[in-house]
Structure 1
């Protein structure tokens, strides 16, 4: 499949009337600063009829006028703090064409060919930090667009939309809300609900309360080396992105099995997410053939919007995620029943509550500079073995991006190679089934395929 680039330009917010924005910048919150310094790429596919590119472009410009963060740039504010500069520099907008029908190219495989559907980007250090960890006061480095869009038309009239968004600006919840707003603007519908932009709401307590340990969790020392002692290209070449589909029937049986505990028939059932994650944690561990004495954990993203007290509006724009880390020995994980892993996951997530979030806010404000710490998130990490990381997009309205011709036929992440990092997505069928994307070493894939549907 050859994707031909027809045009590339920068488009800027389209303000109605004499609107003249006053705010110059938005300082990053403590949650923004600990996430990954990279773009996240997703892909949509639509059957015809679809609106013309011009209508989709204007809709994006209108949405950017409401979500100004995405049209800005990363930099330093007047107080010398990391910020999003609201300078309306705009987003990259590319038009492309494929001289075949969409049906001829389906199904889209999780392969490097997906990269041709969206603008390329290079992970880079944020503009306020140099590689040696010293602060950088020159924001000229932060010129990369925070959103990049590519519209690829097929001969049959089908449309593939490639979308990349920088993680410093927002998490999956916020980004999906922006995408819904883009569709509303294209359809001439009033954008609703409106975004909540205030990132100053996470104020530390006085005096602070460091109730939990955050050093070694969300933060590490700046002199800690993130270097990897292996040949990067040879490692990446051996990682394949595999997709697994779990039906509603399978998930229901798995949930029953995970929630069953000997001697206690009244236990509250674990969620579908907890049950499936427990199953996959064990399946991946089996496929890796690890030492029984090795320790393994799962890094689970936990949204704080409904965990903080008072609750943060769902319309909040920004990152508001911390992580749970259920941990155990390989031998125990594989010898104990599925309910053991499910309970570890459930209990770890439960601990990331209001108290934990408040403790993190206090620590991030009072201790990070004092102890010369930096985020533990490492975008250059390719291998998570013996551990696993999971991001769930099951509750985000990604499928609600409707430009005027209906909801997408396909929604999926772009190709990525981070061994052990799973993505949970609702199936496009809308029947409650789940699709999981899992990068694994090619040598481990055959074993994983043998056990990924085995409940024993």
Structure 2
């Protein structure tokens, strides 16, 4: 079954103009504590010293005639920052690589904007979005993660009466599971409701290294390797690949029935993507390759972490093999590696990881021949409702992250034919992307 994921645009790229007002800092609506809070040793790792962009698109709601989404969200933002007051502070560098938050009410950066474009002109709302840098403008002073606003938000009114809500969050402060808690709180206030979620919980000391540190687990995701290829691609490109129920079923038929039935869609799809990507890269068969699966570990602790915990609480489950084995063994080989890697993540693994961070100086995860994947299909970004209904598109805005472009995201998506499925946001060197797209089809044929 072909995937019909044509890499060539069928029409000229959409170009539009965005008029922005000067960025402003929005502080908590009422006074909040001025204090220094320590981030966890999971928060401080080098690989997440990046800002992650999220974007939501909303259609016009006639019942909201005369209601301005910019004012509504800005007012709600100042109120949401009262319980989430550390987000209005600034991340500072402490001693020994540790990070702190200066809770000083300095505020998050907010941008009001208008665009001369309609939702219909976008066609299918999917990454990469045209003129994305206009919908989430990186204002001077918002770059980086140290001494910068922890959140950057831009609300852009569209010509059709709809709007976009774009947010960039400092990953050292929170992860996807944490930022969605804040976004739901913000949206409920904007919609005129009292927040129904559990209040935010700091408790970063729960993920501080033990004294003395005890690294008890194997952490293949942080092994420091040397890239022997001597080739550093710089021309990375991004593309989205849609996998509907028909495509997922076709991939499942590549597996023995009992394995297919006992495996999640994420595991099956990730195995398939990993295998196709490795074939496209045409690596030496003896080269090690890694699939790093971002795993939410909030429920892996005994007892589980508090529901309102919004710090980084994830592990990178690392499946490791050689390029030769991955591309020649049946698909269930890759699937088994991924399931075993995810299955090893537990309470002790996370404490061992925190201990590794402090003993190794908060290392970057392995980037040589690695691909990192995050599943956001159950995160709930599309359900964020500011009073204009659910988002037409909601979630991570683009593939890649910081200095590590080989990051893929799984995003829930309904295509132009009304089919619900998964959009996989992929980042690859431009020549490899074409080979990868062909591999997706060839492997099924």
Return the alpha-carbon distance in structure 2 between the equivalents of residues 343 and 393 of structure 1. Answer: 22
Return the alpha-carbon distance in structure 1 between the equivalents of residues 95 and 434 of structure 2. Answer: 55
> CA distance change for structure 1 residues 376 and 87 in 2, over 3 Å: closer, same or farther?
same
Root-mean-square deviation (Å): 3.0
* Alignment partner, residue 386 of structure 2: 403
* Alignment partner, residue 348 of structure 1: 341
Greater shift after overlay, 409-418 or 82-91? Answer: 409-418
* Alignment partner, residue 436 of structure 1: 424
* Alignment partner, residue 11 of structure 2: none
> CA distance change for structure 1 residues 332 and 79 in 2, over 3 Å: closer, same or farther?
closer
Return the alpha-carbon distance in structure 1 between the equivalents of residues 324 and 390 of structure 2. Answer: 45
Unaligned stretches of 5+ in structure 2?
Answer: 1-15
* 1:51-66 equivalences in 2 (<5 Å): 51-52=67-68, 53-66=70-83
* Corresponding residue SS for 2:207: coil
Return the alpha-carbon distance in structure 1 between the equivalents of residues 256 and 212 of structure 2. Answer: 42
* 1:133-172 equivalences in 2 (<5 Å): 142=147, 144-172=148-176
2:90 to 69, 73, 87: 73
Shift of 1:112: 6.3
Judge conservation of contact 1:298–1:388 (CA < 8 Å) in 2: yes
Return the alpha-carbon distance in structure 1 between the equivalents of residues 344 and 384 of structure 2. Answer: 34
* Corresponding residue SS for 1:314: coil
> CA distance change for structure 1 residues 329 and 314 in 2, over 3 Å: closer, same or farther?
same
Return the alpha-carbon distance in structure 1 between the equivalents of residues 306 and 143 of structure 2. Answer: 31
Return the alpha-carbon distance in structure 1 between the equivalents of residues 59 and 260 of structure 2. Answer: 46
1:39 to 44, 51, 65: 51
TM-score if structure 2 supplies the norm length?
Answer: 0.84
* Alignment partner, residue 190 of structure 1: 194
Return the alpha-carbon distance in structure 1 between the equivalents of residues 51 and 144 of structure 2. Answer: 12
> CA distance change for structure 1 residues 445 and 306 in 2, over 3 Å: closer, same or farther?
same
Q: How many aligned positions are there?
A: 414
Greater shift after overlay, 424-433 or 31-40? Answer: 424-433
* Alignment partner, residue 275 of structure 1: 268
Return the alpha-carbon distance in structure 1 between the equivalents of residues 144 and 365 of structure 2. Answer: 12
CA distances 1:144-166 after superposition (whole Å, capped 9, x unpaired):
11111111112211101111110
2:207 to 202, 207, 212: 202
1:4 and 2:19 correspond: yes
* Corresponding residue SS for 2:168: strand
* Corresponding residue SS for 2:131: helix
1:27 and 2:38 correspond: yes
* Alignment partner, residue 381 of structure 1: none
CA distances 1:402-423 after superposition (whole Å, capped 9, x unpaired):
1101011122433455543211
Return the alpha-carbon distance in structure 2 between the equivalents of residues 248 and 297 of structure 1. Answer: 27
* Corresponding residue SS for 1:452: helix
Judge conservation of contact 1:243–1:437 (CA < 8 Å) in 2: yes
CA distances 1:111-139 after superposition (whole Å, capped 9, x unpaired):
56211111216897764xxxxxxxxxxxx
2:293 to 291, 300, 319: 300
Judge conservation of contact 1:77–1:83 (CA < 8 Å) in 2: yes
* Corresponding residue SS for 1:110: coil
Judge conservation of contact 1:217–1:376 (CA < 8 Å) in 2: no
TM-score if structure 1 supplies the norm length?
Answer: 0.82
> CA distance change for structure 1 residues 302 and 112 in 2, over 3 Å: closer, same or farther?
same
> CA distance change for structure 1 residues 62 and 77 in 2, over 3 Å: closer, same or farther?
farther
Return the alpha-carbon distance in structure 2 between the equivalents of residues 353 and 89 of structure 1. Answer: 37
1:94 and 2:111 correspond: yes
> CA distance change for structure 1 residues 70 and 397 in 2, over 3 Å: closer, same or farther?
same
Judge conservation of contact 2:280–2:435 (CA < 8 Å) in 1: yes
* Corresponding residue SS for 1:433: strand
